Structure 1
Amino acid sequence: MSVMLEPPLTGERLGPLIRMLRLRAGWSEDDLARALVADSGRATITRTEVWRWEVEYEGRTTGPFWLPHLAHVLNVPAARLQAARAASKAARRIGHIATAAPDEVLASLLPPDEPLGPCSTQAGRRVGMDDAEALLRRVHGLRLADDVLAGGDLVEPCVRELRRAVNLFNETSHTEEVGQRLLVAVAEMAQLAGWVATDTGGRVDAEPLFRLGASAARQAKDGALAAHLLGSWGYWTANTGNARRGLELVRAAEAAASSGVPLVARSLTAARLAWTSALAGDGQGALRAMGEAMEQITDADPGEAADRLWLYWVDLPEQEVMEARVATQLHRPLRAVPLLREVLAGYDPTHVREYALYASWLVTALLDANEMEEAAAEAQRMFEMAASVPSTRAAERGDVVLTALRHHRRVPEVAEVLALWDVSPA
């Protein structure tokens, strides 16, 4: 069973905008409520009301009284909030707002006979292969949810399911074969939990999750999965400022994926090696690894990794996005721009966070190519989409784009975008 979300609106809505600005400020819902009380002198706003505004619960939006106070405490033009409020009201009238809440999305993506409830982990009970496979199906349901939900919505269910998976392995009896399959499930769940944690702005530390998953994959003797854990860990480490350490981890992933591993998994590792090499300043190494990644994904047999559901998203367009990102990082916009244009033209609009992230790379590549007007138009679309998801990664990329746009504020189209989105102009 799958869930279909409506494509994002062309105009930003008030609820997602408030949420994005709150997260960018590093505030909780309580923090925003307290700031509003202090700014207005009224003690009549609670975190629950802030939550209702942000999710537009039952059609609720911020009333006119609070708009100037929100503008003040969030450092955003009041006109932008007013326009977003009008867009929210119009969207409800024409039925464009998706009604699926995060819990509903999760429930719809899990197998119908396995709701998002507790796994039985009664100490000492015996579990079999059916239990292990059911656990893996639960992992994949959450993995699919990551396509349409951001870290802020998904991290708690993922960490909770990881804890249950570990308990199922530790507190039950099983054969060695079943135990190995349970370890695979633990490793897959740890990778997903770690990946989701990287999208929460440090609210949950990803490193121990990746470390746990890598250990479980090694114990399960699954080289491809161990490479996935190490590669994810290294990719995140490099992106958070430690490119050398990230490169070491991805090279360890490359070693783990050296034999008996499907080409598509090796392509994923090679692409991560290309990216971390680019961040570490090794341009030639990055281009060489990216070339290998593209050869491997082109030569891969689609059926070779059919039993590894965690590879479902790795395909030629995704690797082309990474190739474009590497080219952008190395200041080769003539290669990056056509790749990103082609991928985004056919990209699933329900994958809002990924679309916004990929669009952010197109903006920076266009700026590098001196295509200012097109960069401004793409930036406007990117900001609208990023505002609708509670994603730290999307917010951080938005900051990068804003910094790049500020260098070109004399271009009228760029100035218009900055007037709407730049809450702290340099």
Structure 2
Amino acid sequence: MDDTLERAMPDRRGFMKLGGQALVLLAGQWLAEGIGPVVAALTGGRIDLPMVGELEAGLPRLRRMEAALGGPRARNLLHAELEMVTGILKEASYSDRVGQRLLVLSAELARLAGWSSFDSGLHTAAQRYWTSGLRAAHAAGDRALGANILKSLSLQCYDHNLFSDALALAAAAVDGAGEVTPRTSAMLLLRQARAAAACGNHAECDRLLTAAETQMAQTDASHDDPAWSGYFDPAEFHAQTATCHADLGRPKLAQRHYATALALMPAAKHRDLATYTIQHARTHTALGDADHAIHLLETAVPMITAAPSQRNITRAVAARAELPLLTRHPKVQRLDQLLATLSA
């Protein structure tokens, strides 16, 4: 964690450091290695359970802020929170139980810091946070949290068109998660389905979509879902399902699920609304309705402004490039002007 804190924040490279066999090996280690004991710090003050509880109580606020403000705005705050917890792990004394909870807390903060870096287009930094968070989750014995971090690494590979790596990481997340709630299972299965769709495996993707739908149908308030899975609601389920169908060349099915997702998604989730509005626009382009695609892309611009995201800017530019209209078309010119404000 200390090495990550030293190297991740100043990193400004927009490419991934790990790839191919290195990522697959990381996933294999996650499945195979044993869970070591938590070693208590030898010096420093004593940290008790109430103090850890106070630190943990800040996580919901941090998750909401990162989702609402976007990665570029939240990154420094998350790094600072992680630095504080890492310092406590290094210097304080505490029981094994307290140490385990501190490790889980640091793993989740590393996941969030990695996500904010990923959202900012800083991919080497994201990998540093995530691989450190994976080790912390492993040391704490929280396999579900580790699986969620592997899921993020899988999505990063997906964004870089490393689809076989994305599939290997997503499969490792599913296989290594242990006993999880139906919501968590559906979330992990859908990430694997997305990777299978990107690889062009129709049958495997459909199998995983069916399994995810079965798990999602069993989700209810009686299950003790981990707090980090709270974002995965019916809106997100439909949005992820839509992306699978879009990648498999099924724009009508994708369009139907994107429409459902956007109807269910809370208005405050600017970044997610922008993501799936852009993806919805791409289905309209694929079905020959360029005018409505332009309208949706214009709608997404203020959402990106409200929650800046380099990933969404890249998506919007890619969706614009797919439009069949000439650059001199008035609607396209207006859209280009709006997109230029994002790039600036």
**TM-score scaled by structure 2?**
0.81
Rounded to whole Å, the distance in 2 between the matches of 1:417 and 1:282 is 38
Structure with the higher fraction of residues in helix conformation: 2
Matched with 1:159 is 79
SS in 1 for 2:122: coil
Among candidates 288, 299, 304, match of residue 381 of structure 1: 299
Letter in structure 2 aligned against 1:304: H
Match of 1:298 in 2: 217
User: Quick one: which amino acid aligns to residue 275 of structure 1?
Assistant: R
Does residue 127 (structure 1) correspond to residue 47 (structure 2)? The answer is yes
Match of 1:234 in 2: 154
- Counterpart residue identity of residue 197, structure 2: A
Q: Which residue of 2 aligns with 1:284?
A: 203
Code of the aligned partner of 1:209 = Y
Q: C-alpha separation between the residues in 1 aligned to 2:330 and 2:257?
A: 24
Kindly tell me: are residues 179 and 351 of structure 1, through their superposed partners in 2, closer, same or farther at Cα, counting changes over 3 Å?
same
- Which is further off, 163-172 or 185-194? 163-172
| Secondary structure class of the residue paired with 1:147 | helix
- Secondary structure at 1:390's aligned position in 2? coil
- Paired letter, 2:274: A
- Code of the residue aligned with 1:215 in structure 2: it is R
**SS of residue paired to 2:69:** coil
2:282 aligned with 1:364: yes
1:266 is matched with 185
Does 2:235 correspond to 1:317? Answer: yes
CA separation in 1, counterparts of 2:104 and 2:235? Answer: 27
Q: Report what 1:330 is aligned to.
A: 248
Determine the structure 2 residue equivalent to 1:244: 164
Task: Give the secondary-structure state (helix, strand or coil) at the position aligned to 2:58.
Answer: helix
Equivalent residue for 1:392?
Answer: 310
Percentage identity across paired residues of the two chains: 25
SS at match of 1:305: coil
Runs (4+) off by over 6 Å: none
Paired with 1:370 and 1:228, the residues of 2 have a C-alpha distance of: 37
Shift of 1:303: 2.9
**Displacement of 1:273:** 0.6
Rounded Cα–Cα distance in structure 1 between residues aligned with 2:330 and 2:211: 39
Say which SS state the counterpart of residue 151 (structure 2) adopts: helix
In 1, Cα distance between equivalents of 2:75 and 2:152: 16
Instruction: Give the letter aligned to residue 211 of structure 1.
Output: T
Unpaired segments of 5 or more residues in structure 2? 1-13, 15-40
Write the deviation string for residues 298-351 of structure 1: whole angstroms up to 9, x where unpaired.
112333124x21111112221110001111111211111122122213422222
Q: Is contact 2:281–2:293 with CA below 8 Å preserved after alignment?
A: yes
Contact 1:224 1:262 in 2 (8 A): no
In structure 2, what is the Cα distance between the partners aligned to 1:326 and 1:313? 19
Q: Which runs of 5+ in 1 are unaligned?
A: 1-25, 27-120
| Higher alpha-carbon deviation: 414-423 or 219-228 | 414-423
Equivalent position to 1:201, from 115, 121, 131:
121
Counting matched residue pairs gives 301
CA deviation vs aligned residue, 1:162-213 (integer Å, no higher than 9, x gap): 1211221222111111111111111111111111110112276101111111
8 Å contact from structure 1 (residues 297, 315) kept in 2: no
Q: Deviations over 1:100-133 (max 9, x none)?
A: xxxxxxxxxxxxxxxxxxxxx9951111111222
Task: Indicate the larger mover: 338-347 or 127-136.
Answer: 338-347
Q: CA deviation at 1:419?
A: 4.8
In the alignment, the residues of structure 1 paired with residue 127 and residue 134 of structure 2 have an alpha-carbon distance, to the nearest angstrom, of: 11
| Amino acid in structure 2 at the alignment position of 1:373 | D
Matched residue, 1:213: 133
SS in 1 for 2:322: helix
Deviation, structure 1 residue 240:
2.2
Match of 2:60 in 1: 140
Q: Deviations over 1:64-99 (max 9, x none)?
A: xxxxxxxxxxxxxxxxxxxxxxxxxxxxxxxxxxxx
2: CA distance between counterparts of 1:333 and 1:313? 25
Q: How does 1:84-99 map to 2 (within 5 A)?
A: none
